[in-house]
Amino acid sequence: MKLGYYSYTTHLDHDVEDMHPEHPMRIIAINHALEQSGLMSDMLLGGCAYVAQKDLLRAHKEGYIKQLIAMSPANGMILADPDTHMMVGTLDAAYQAAGCVINGLDDIMSGKINRAFCAVRPPGHHAQKSKAMGFCFLNNVAIAAKKAQLEYGLERIAIIDFDVHQGNGTIDILADDPNFLICSSFQHPSFPFSHWQNIHSNIINTPLGVGTSGIDMRRAVEKQWLEQLQKFKPQLTIVSAGFDAHKDDPMAELNWQAADYAWLGAFLSDINKENSDNKILAVLEGGYNLEALAASTHQFIDSFR
């Protein structure tokens, strides 16, 4: 499989306080692990550009985008919500994060690569049509999903979200559209405390109790997702890849290990294995212990090969 890796240095301008968990060292740690292992040299390295307005407006309300521009500070920091810090460079970083994911999608759809991992921040899966929250401003996965649907004409797009915190923003944007099948695993109860019941026709929720092990996660995923995904036969799989379920992560109370993320990568690779293209676009979401994040991300990406 041809694998691409998409990241950028402008995320450094989204320089939240040192004590904030969603800080620039997250991507630096991932890059270091991939370079040390030699995996970085085996991948196509992609850059990014600002996301186009037309791509943004497929997922977000125009008034919300204008609001983000208006509230972007000229100096210092403001709070978009109690957890979501907005600095001078935050909006540029968010635009380029979404642009990275769009570039990965375009390269997959052109046949340049089959798989992509986008190491971007700020993350996106909590961003709703008209609301920033949970460290997120623009919903990178939903923006790419809507472009795949409306510009590339795909009719079966799987969205896989395995973050500790459910991707409520992605659900807000894509719920009840039969072109999307959303499979979401998350700790319950936990932030954002919404959408955890199966109230939408195209969503499979997999809530996991405190202390859930990687083995128990694997059993739940196989039981609840496998048959539905095989029936759906996705033309593209887009992944909200959160690595905060690791046992050492300070933001959660699950008990996964790095090898469980390798299992998830292999599981997703096998879903559509009869399709030689088997297109997968993965996007970084959570993960806040640097050592655990780096090891888990490396194993997940390596499992694609």
What are the tens digits of pLDDT across the range 272-304? 776 656 799 999 999 999 999 999 999 999 998
CB-based burial, 20-29: b 16+ in 10 Å, e otherwise = ebbbbebbbb
Q: Which residue has the tokens 């509230």?
A: 71
d(CA 30, CA 123): 15
Contacts with 215 (C-beta within 8 Å, 6 or more apart), sequence order: none
Please identify which of the residues 14, 126, 246, 298 carries the catalytic annotation.
126
* Average pLDDT over the chain, rounded to an integer: 94
d(CA 39, CA 41): 5
d(CA 163, CA 251): 11
pTM, entire model: 0.97
Please spell the DSSP secondary structure of 219-274, one letter per residue. HHHHHHTHHHHHHH--SEEEEEE--TTBTT-TT---BB-HHHHHHHHHHHHHHTTT
pLDDT tens, position by position, 172-215: 999 999 999 999 999 999 998 876 666 889 999 999 999 999 99
pLDDT at 247 over 80: yes
Neighbours of 160 (CB within 10 A): 27
195 is catalytic: no
User: For the chain, what percentages of helix, strand and coil (3-state, to nearest 5) are there?
Assistant: 40, 20, 40
pLDDT tens, position by position, 5-31: 999 988 888 988 778 999 999 999 999
| 8 Å CB contact between 234 and 181 | yes
What is the CATH classification number for the domain harbouring 127? 3.40.800.20
Number of structural domains, the chain? Answer: 1
Question: What is the radius of gyration, based on Cα positions, of the chain?
Answer: 17
Strand, helix or coil for residue 79: strand
Range of the domain at 190: 3-302
